[in-house]
Amino acid sequence: MEHSCDGWHASWFGDPLRGTNTQVKTRNADVAVVGAGIIGLFCAWFLARRGLRVVVLERKTPGAGSSLRNGGGVRSQWGTATNIQLSVLSEPFWDEFEDRFGVDVALRRIGYLFLARTTDALAELSRQVALQRDFGVPSEILSASDIGTRWPSLDGFDVTGASFCASDGFLNQHRVVHALTVAAEAAGATIESGADVVAMDVAAGRITAVHTTAGTVATELVVNCAGAWAPRVAEQVGISLPIRSRRVSLLVARPAHPLPVGLPWLIDSGEVHLRPDVEGRVQVGGFLGNDETVDPAAFDHDADGWWIDAVLGQVSRRLRIQIERSSVIESWAGLYPSTPDQHPIIDRTDARMVIVGGFAGAGLMHAPAAGLLATELIVDGGINSIDPDPLRLERLSRPIATAERTGF
């Protein structure tokens, strides 16, 4: 564990910006958080509660990026200790969200069922479950017979087994964004919408100000929570981030025949997945083997027509659930900003930019842990709640030691 950070701790924050020459629309802050997605909002909330002056700079409006373009999933079934621990750290915040923030985020713990089609796939799920249970996750391995007994509609599936965790589920991310926006501001943070970061001033290798389309923030610390745009923000101070964005699509439909009551979230080989939604609807997603890197600046938020047809075909063939194209209510696309090992980066740099990004589709579910760990790094001098090494930026300059394989 790391316990020192070359002066990056609470004593560093006096009032370093008093006496700075100001101009119209220039604000002073201890910390400028770039990006008002769920991760950025959690960071702002944690930091403001520790007494720091926080300004959040958002190019559009809170949650306008991938925070509101995902499936709302919250799970603890992962294949590496790091991602499992991020889920374990985050889970109490989701369980207690209404008590903390006064908003019911409609958390439904329906369970995730990861289907295995081969003996090798089942062996890998068994390895993952053993690791998950080491951290207290109540996951289990089910045989094909177990699956049919627990969910009769799945009886006879061509599978070798599955892993299941009843505490996995989904929530309403729109309510999360609203609640965190209110909570961060109540804690003292300022959230500025329409503030696209266009440049940063650097003196002696360290940030001194952030220029946006809405004005300037004089600060000596930036927390980069810009999601798919994090590499572009980092480039402004000469930092290269190995984060690439993949396109991920989702649709919501209302099938003619409702899903059986109690059906879990079904994940088939990480390529196609389906879960019950509210009011008789279903949500469907999947990469379908597409691993294309996309430019977030030229990204189309509409799901492709070919993808809708293809994923519904896969659902019919692999999951034996019939959904007609005419029953699709809405569809959209989002981005998965990912690192080569599918672990996030939560680390500081010499320029005094803290990177909090590359969550590979787990940004929503791991956002509480991200805010907590970033605050430990900034205020307490280092990450203490988990081993920080798998989160460091420098790890990605070496051969990959451990990679996550369960993303979808």
Contact 185, 165 (CB under 8 A): no
pTM, full prediction: 0.93
For 217, how many CA atoms within 13 A lie in the half-sphere containing its CB? 30
- Predicted local confidence at residue 276, as pLDDT: 97
- Domains in the chain (CATH in brackets) are 10-68+174-242+341-397 (3.50.50.60), 108-169+244-338 (3.30.9.10)
Q: Which of 198, 201, 318, 204 is nearest to 267 (CA)?
A: 318
- Predicted local confidence at residue 268, as pLDDT: 95
Q: Which of 43, 60, 47, 63 is nearest to 192 (CA)?
A: 60
For 220, how many CA atoms within 13 A lie in the half-sphere containing its CB? 16
List the alpha helices (DSSP H) in 166-208: 173-186
Sequence letter at residue 191: I
Q: Which of 44, 4, 12, 11 is nearest to 222 (CA)?
A: 44
- Predicted local confidence at residue 270, as pLDDT: 66
Rounded Cα distance, 192 and 194, in Å: 7
Sheet containing 190-193: give its strands across.
190-193, 54-58, 31-34, 222-224, 353-357, 345-348
CA angle 235–236–239, rounded 5-degree value: 40
Grouped pLDDT means (10 residues each) for the chain, 408 residues = 35 32 70 99 99 98 95 98 99 98 98 98 98 99 98 96 98 98 99 97 97 97 98 98 95 94 92 93 88 87 95 95 97 96 98 98 98 98 98 98 88
- Predicted local confidence at residue 299, as pLDDT: 86
- Predicted local confidence at residue 49, as pLDDT: 99
| Entry field: residues in the chain | 408
Rounded Cα distance, 334 and 387, in Å: 30
Q: Which residues contact 11 (CB under 8 A, 6 or more apart)?
A: none
Letter string b/e over residues 172-210, b meaning 16 or more CB atoms within 10 A of that residue's CB: bbebbbbbbbbbbbebebbbbeebebeebebeeeebbbb
- H or E element: which one contains 305? helix 305-319
Q: Which of 279, 216, 306, 296 is nearest to 27 (CA)?
A: 216
- Predicted local confidence at residue 343, as pLDDT: 98
